[in-house]
Amino acid sequence: MTQSLTIRRPDDWHLHLRDGAMLAAVLPESARHFARAIIMPNLVPPVVTGQDAAAYRARIMAALPEGADFTPLMTLYLTEETDAREVAAAHASGLITAVKLYPAGATTNSASGVRDFNAARPVLETMAEIGLPLCVHGEVTDPEIDIFDREAVFIDRVLDPLRRAVPGLRVVMEHVTTKDAVAYVTSEPRDLAATITTHHLVINRNHILVGGIKPHYYCLPVAKREEHRLALRAAATSGDAMFFLGTDSAPHTDPLKESACGCAGCFTAPNTLSILAHVFEQEGALDRLEGFTSLNGPAFYRLPANEARITLTKGDRVTYPSKIETGDGPVTVFDPGFALHWRVS
């Protein structure tokens, strides 16, 4: 039985670091184990220009603990006003690694997102030409569509037509939560990948709703039925290079989560790797963990894999704080609901 596993240092291809006091508190939790992360631009106001991205990157670098080896990979928040030339320039200078598409109103701080996808066409065409990936929050916002169906409907109504309209556009479907998304990614041989979060490998919608509402399990896209969780686990552990880790670690303070209108987001940065090793071991796929956390993402983003290694070892129960303190208030750490035994040594 494998009790120790050495893998290339992981990257996180979807991460919310926030800003200010929250950034200072949560950044060390990711920088400890991850070499790079795609930094989500949904600040208030959002990161829309190259100037915004450069300034945000500088704030992240300034908040890094002494000696940390962590590179933030910046993104721009696509709006209907985004300028294609500015995107191309930000990419050419190495400032940005991707552009993020939020359908307006789909999730936290997405009000400035896209309503009319035609308005974004010139930017998307430029991105296809220069090979710059588009990270997509794949949910429709139509109030008629049930929240549990919003990802599957998005594929048919928005994503597939958009990909046909802009051939060659490289797309990452972010935080996929359905067997429909897994099937769509698997059926498309080129230019389409997906990130999978840690928490969607662990929880289904019962975890949120049975026995009392659990606000710390509420995130968007919301966790679906068990059959979907199983499809995500199969995809993540399959070895298919088009699936890789994007934790979507999304901190909100406890008062904002435990509220009559609670915020969406699970904070998984502190225990993500312990949980993933547990999941991959359960699936008999520990030998595929490195692909999911450290190889498939860089391959899609056309970046080298990290040279440094980390070692995970299995032993006594891993303890971690149930919450971390931040200057804005406490933030609860995701509880997988089972004991963890894998630690990064």
Which residues are known catalytic residues?
248
Asked whether position 36 contacts ligand NCD by CB under 6 A, the answer is no
Closest CB 172 distance from Zn ion, rounded Å = 12
Q: What is the Cβ-side half-sphere exposure of residue 338, based on CA atoms within 13 angstroms? A: 14
Angle at 49 between CA 48 and CA 54, to 5 degrees: 110
Asked whether position 170 contacts ligand NCD by CB under 6 A, the answer is no
Residue ranges in 257-286 that form contacts with ligand NCD under rule CB under 6 A: 264-265
Residue ranges in 110-139 that form contacts with ligand NCD under rule CB under 6 A: 137
Q: How far apart are CA 278 and CA 153, in angstroms?
A: 32
# of chain residues touching Zn ion (CB under 5 A): 1
Residue ranges in 186-245 that form contacts with ligand NCD under rule CB under 6 A: 219-220
* Single residue of 97, 107, 198, 237 touching ligand NCD by CB under 6 A: 107
Q: Of the listed pieces 55-63, 247-255, 315-323, 329-337, which binds Zn ion according to CB under 5 A? A: 247-255
Spatial neighbors of 260 by CB under 8 A, at least 6 apart, are none
# of chain residues touching ligand NCD (CB under 6 A): 11
Closest CB 251 distance from ligand NCD, rounded Å = 8
Asked whether position 248 contacts Zn ion by CB under 5 A, the answer is yes
Asked whether position 108 contacts ligand NCD by CB under 6 A, the answer is yes
What residue ranges bind ligand NCD (CB under 6 A)? 16, 42, 107-108, 137, 219-220, 248, 250, 264-265
Residues forming contacts to Zn ion in the complex (CB under 5 A) are 248
